Chain A
């Protein structure tokens, strides 16, 4: 780590700590019914999540998110490769894909409830369905823009079928897959929380909603903070994985200089 990055890191930590202290001091006074002091929030956070209600609410949420997002990536890559490999399919499917991805995500909530009830299946479905489109579009573009020389070299060395998919196509579009995943990840968290608030018997979203209804404001804050940390952590994790997997891309495009 060089000097400049170290300074940046210190600046980041300093600014974050400063803002937290400001919030702490501000909330120490009486700010009305929706607010509570930072120590109370943190206390509620510890009581709820370490690890009293972890199994009851966090685990189901993570399972739904994990299943839904994995399904979205798998379906998104498969569909994207299909759409990207043929001009005809691309042209034919373009209107329908544009329509599906333009649907405001939550407008599908009622439909998903009718189809799958209020259980895990509904959350997995809506996350997978909505989150796959950014990946489909990115992957399709990526496949269509693959370098002709690279494909010719794979073809002339008779790298075909599954080998071609596994060792040439998928690695080549990996940066596009990640670009799609970055967009869908925040959508996935949003859909998870929304569905859990609207129709669920557990989960972090349900917990936040329920706490608000029962006037346990510190618990509500505990849930909000956890959701924030969850989103932050997932994004960070995705970035770390991307940097590892797509190292060649960063180098080729010279983005790391």
Chain B
């Protein structure tokens, strides 16, 4: 087991609500090892985005801390990139696709051939030919891919993604999942993925962290024992895959998986 790259240590977050404080995260702790792929799943509103912001150094936790290589994160670390849930607003509409990808690279001396790096990233997400388009000339799914390309070109050691495939069709989604798996291996990235999709979490990850309803705690951590090489069809046919998705489902719902009769009954009612 390699060293822990990322440590989330008892992070809690309380917001000043309009009337009274809103406790979004009760107490969440887990670790991510170097080169590991970890997914965070949980019901909507359980504080996944909030947690990601704490890890990215964009917002301080109320108590607790996050460590990157043992160093407390107080501002966005240079070796970390974020793909935001609200991808459309995370892109700069006055810059072209290429401009959006190049802007974060401006001060990066360690990336030679920035134009080529940007072109490669654009190519990788299947947007070759759209480099000179503006984000608002692209569909939602294409904008999402620009956000992913921007993160890839940044060559981060740690990639944080907040429901990055939420607004693309099923086929593109599968392609992007495989793309991320591929570049993650190629560039040896550590990935923390927030998602709603249980299949996606199991398919992509080495480990799945399940959060509870807010105020959230870690409800369960599941190690995914699937072969390292994933394939959209064969991996999802494995018995282990089915077992894991049921386990995650149960952990989220906090109950046993419904029996077939119960499902039929609720579907009928």
Interface residues of A (CB under 8 A from B): 147, 149-150, 152-153, 155-159, 163, 167-168, 171-172, 174, 248-249, 251-252
In the docked arrangement, what's the CA distance between A174 and B106, Å? 22
9 contacts between A and B (CB under 8 A): A150-B89, A152-B90, A155-B76, A156-B82, A159-B104, A168-B92, A172-B94, A248-B136, A251-B134
- Taking the complex as formed, is B154 at the interface, i.e. its CB lies under 8 A from any CB of chain A? yes
In the docked arrangement, what's the CA distance between A167 and B92, Å? 9
Contacts of A156 in B (CB 8 A): 56-58, 76, 80-82
In the docked arrangement, what's the CA distance between A2 and B194, Å? 47
Sample of 14 further A-B pairs with CB below 8 A, known A156-B81, A158-B104, A248-B134:
A149-B89, A150-B89, A153-B90, A155-B58, A155-B75, A156-B58, A156-B76, A157-B81, A163-B103, A167-B92, A249-B93, A251-B93, A251-B136, A252-B136
Q: For the complex formed, measure the closest distance between the CB of B205 and the CB atoms of chain A, giving whole angstroms.
A: 22
| 9 A-B pairs closest in CB distance | A157-B104, A153-B90, A149-B89, A248-B93, A171-B94, A156-B76, A156-B82, A149-B86, A251-B136
| Structural contact, B78 and A158, CB atoms closer than 8 A | yes
| Structural contact, A171 and B92, CB atoms closer than 8 A | yes
Contacts of A168 in B (CB 8 A): 92
Q: For the complex formed, measure the closest distance between the CB of A242 and the CB atoms of chain B, giving whole angstroms.
A: 13
Q: For the complex formed, measure the closest distance between the CB of A178 and the CB atoms of chain B, giving whole angstroms.
A: 13
In the docked arrangement, what's the CA distance between A159 and B154, Å? 12
In the docked arrangement, what's the CA distance between A251 and B133, Å? 13
In the docked arrangement, what's the CA distance between A117 and B92, Å? 47
Contact with A along B200-224 (1 / 0, CB 8 A): 0000000000000000000000000
Q: For the complex formed, measure the closest distance between the CB of A99 and the CB atoms of chain B, giving whole angstroms.
A: 33
Contact with A along B134-150 (1 / 0, CB 8 A): 10110000000000001
Residues A167 and B95 in contact in the complex (CB < 8 Å), given A149-B86, A155-B58, A252-B136: yes
In the docked arrangement, what's the CA distance between A249 and B134, Å? 11
In the docked arrangement, what's the CA distance between A158 and B76, Å? 7
- Taking the complex as formed, is B107 at the interface, i.e. its CB lies under 8 A from any CB of chain A? yes
Q: For the complex formed, measure the closest distance between the CB of B86 and the CB atoms of chain A, giving whole angstroms.
A: 5
- Taking the complex as formed, is B188 at the interface, i.e. its CB lies under 8 A from any CB of chain A? no
Interface residues of A, dominant DSSP: helix
| Structural contact, B92 and A150, CB atoms closer than 8 A | yes
In the docked arrangement, what's the CA distance between A159 and B75, Å? 13
In the docked arrangement, what's the CA distance between A252 and B94, Å? 10
Residues A152 and B136 in contact in the complex (CB < 8 Å), given A157-B104, A157-B154: no
Q: Which residue of A lies closest to B150 (CB)?
A: A157
Q: Which residue of B lies closest to A246 (CB)?
A: B94
Contacts of A172 in B (CB 8 A): 92, 94
| Structural contact, B56 and A159, CB atoms closer than 8 A | no
Q: Which residue of B lies closest to A157 (CB)?
A: B104
- Taking the complex as formed, is B53 at the interface, i.e. its CB lies under 8 A from any CB of chain A? yes
Residues A157 and B56 in contact in the complex (CB < 8 Å), given A248-B136, A252-B93: no
| Structural contact, B107 and A158, CB atoms closer than 8 A | yes
Contacts of A163 in B (CB 8 A): 103, 106-107
In the docked arrangement, what's the CA distance between A174 and B94, Å? 10
Q: Which residue of B lies closest to A148 (CB)?
A: B89
| Structural contact, A167 and B93, CB atoms closer than 8 A | no
CB contact list, B67-88 vs A, under 8 A? 75-76, 78, 80-82, 84, 86
| Structural contact, B58 and A152, CB atoms closer than 8 A | yes
Q: Which residue of B lies closest to A168 (CB)?
A: B92
Contacts of B150 in A (CB 8 A): 157
Pick the most buried of A158, A163, A248, A251: most chain B CB atoms within 10 A of its CB.
Answer: A158
In the docked arrangement, what's the CA distance between A168 and B57, Å? 20
Contacts of A150 in B (CB 8 A): 89-90, 92
